[in-house]
């Protein structure tokens, strides 16, 4: 009797570890970047002797800049 006929063949699963690794590295880098930015903002406000206050116009400007950064990051894979 042929042994290969008895044992069902297992399909090879795709290796998705790179996705998890990319998400973890991106999450850690994003958190560290955010903490660094917050630290710099609070340090500058302390040096000026004021409280940190971001106007709505500055918030919109920051949002547009972040959207541009994300668009640039997405374009990295197109090269």
End-to-end CA distance of the chain: 54
Spell out the per-residue pLDDT of the chain, length 79, in tens.
555 556 666 677 678 888 999 999 999 999 999 999 999 999 999 999 999 888 999 999 999 999 999 999 889 877 6
Give the distance from CA 57 to its chain's centroid: 25
The structural domains of the chain, with segments of one domain joined by +, span 19-78
């Amino acid at each position: 009797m042929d042994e290969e006929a008895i044992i069902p063949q297992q399909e090879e699963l795709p290796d998705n570890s790179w996705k998890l690794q990319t998400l973890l590295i991106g999450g850690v880098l994003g958190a560290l970047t955010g903490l660094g930015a917050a630290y710099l903002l609070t340090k500058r406000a302390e040096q000026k002797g004021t409280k940190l206050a971001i106007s709505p116009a500055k918030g919109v400007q920051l949002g547009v800049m972040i959207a541009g950064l994300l668009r640039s990051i997405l374009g990295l894979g197109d090269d």
